[in-house]
């Protein structure tokens, strides 16, 4: 398991080692923004871990997709919160494809969190994930490469060692993860 060690500086300053962010959070807002991700973000910031969360870090007037992609490149770790509707969003899937590419090419460490979803359903793209990809294939009919890139990124993330979170375990996970894994950040 990858562990983290908080930067000595405050959460608003740049971490050491040339990274702009210690952690990039990837998530589907409608599923997790106002619950699990908000708690995780607050816990990370409280520990002095400089964390990118789109609604906290993107300044008004910036092109969101460019800013997000650049922030992924400038992060040391990516926590990908895979939830029920994550794959419905082509935006989330583009983000995930970039995260996995940076993991392969630039050493970005990726930690998947399976939030109220079965990791096997994500890995095999069954259930809600199968439905989401059927819609993408219909919508992006002429762009099969794009949909295949998303499928590969999702399968790659789901094959990584991660955490399976249920309703009861969400806050326990945050506390456990921060206490257990802050050794290397």
Q: Which residues are catalytic?
A: 95
Distances (CA, A) of 70 to 15, 51, 79, 102: 16, 14, 16, 11
Q: What angle do CA 159, 40, 164 make, to 5 degrees?
A: 30
CA nearest to 11, candidates 60, 62, 46: 46
């Amino acid at each position: 398991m990858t562990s983290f060690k908080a930067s000595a500086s405050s959460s608003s300053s740049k971490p050491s080692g040339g990274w702009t962010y210690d952690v990039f959070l990837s998530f589907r807002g409608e599923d997790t923004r106002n619950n699990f991700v908000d708690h995780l973000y607050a816990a990370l910031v409280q520990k002095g871990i400089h964390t990118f969360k789109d609604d906290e870090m993107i300044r008004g007037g910036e092109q969101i997709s460019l800013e997000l992609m650049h922030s992924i490149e400038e992060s040391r770790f990516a926590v990908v919160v895979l939830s029920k509707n994550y794959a419905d969003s082509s935006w989330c899937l583009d983000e995930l494809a970039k995260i996995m590419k940076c993991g392969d090419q630039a050493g970005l460490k990726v930690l998947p969190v399976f939030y109220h979803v079965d990791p096997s359903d994500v890995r095999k793209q069954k259930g809600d994930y199968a439905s989401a990809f059927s819609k993408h294939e219909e919508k992006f009919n002429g762009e099969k490469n794009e949909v295949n890139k998303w499928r590969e990124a999702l399968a790659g993330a789901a094959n990584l060692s991660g955490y399976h979170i249920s309703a009861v375990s969400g806050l326990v996970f945050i506390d456990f993860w921060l206490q257990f894994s802050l050794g290397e950040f």
